[in-house]
Structure 1
Amino acid sequence: MEDKTRCNWCLSSDLYKQYHDQEWGKPVYNDATLFEFLLLETFQAGLSWITILNKRENFRNAFDQFDYKKIATYQDPKIQELLLDTGIIRNKLKVNSAVTNAQNFIKIQEEFGSFSKYIWGFVDGKPIDNKPLTLKEVPATTPLSDAISKDLKKRGFKFVGSTVMYAFMQATGIVNDHIQGCWTRQNR
């Protein structure tokens, strides 16, 4: 694992390297996995991604294995339980947004047949490969992340600003921002 050339953002920990090598930028079409990333990215807003990765299993346990159908039904007792859970980010607005976003996620599934069809529809089902030479060439937002953010907000989603949505697009392979020379480019 150590002798591979990687995007330099992931070099600070083995967990980061593992995430980079096995998940980041690989196209995701499964609704359950897309929701997991959506939930994690919304909690990441304003924090570092490594903070979320370090708490990922805690989030998985606290949020019923990221089961959006269950999360959509959370009531105040469960929300209060989550707000006391030191293993996750205990931000009341973000916890409440998880419930709201799960409810709206289901509405999109009902309208489009799946969340995957909806989100991948923004790129005609094909990942965008930006082929950056360096990390400095990777944007924080794009007109596409602006458009997705705007549409999700219109549908009632919370914590889905353009920066969060661009990170979601990177995580789920809607965009490939692995730098040139990164070993994963040949393995996508």
Structure 2
Amino acid sequence: MRLAGSEWRAFFDSMEREAWRLETLPVYSVPQEAEAIREFADSGVVDPAAVKPWVDRLHGYASAGRNVGRVHVVRRPLTEYLKFEFEHYRHNVAAGEDVRILDVTDRPDPLAGAPDFWIFDQARVVLMQYEVDGTQVGREVYEGDVTPFLELRRVAIAEAVPFEEYVKGIGT
């Protein structure tokens, strides 16, 4: 089943305990972010109003006892997009999201070839589908055994460091 728009939002919001994401790309090409990325490139600042809808959702999830987390696999030097995204992560972490970074610059990537995905309540997987340039082309509910995704999640969390620890170490 493909998910778009309000169906995606409803699916996401239906989680009972946890939503967790693996991000593997250095750039996500999101047309709605183009202007914000240009403004960030000029100022180095992300407009708090731009992150407010997600931050409000994170607060709502937390107040209902639900957790959101992610691991982003990166290589240095960070792309301009990743620098922009890291500014968003600062707000996400402050709102309670468990953001972690797995830097594979100087080491083998233990998740090489893994797809981008969300896993909900450790039971339902949504594959995030992208073109080579990072343009999203779909979200699809995975109908098979989720065990391999649980293993990817386990490895990602074990190998990554908390976002705040990572940015202190690289000086951003």
| Shared fold (TM-score, shorter chain, > 0.5) | no
More helix by percentage: 1
Larger Rg belongs to = 1
Structure-1-length-normalised TM-score: 0.27
Structure-2-length-normalised TM-score: 0.29
More strand by percentage: 2
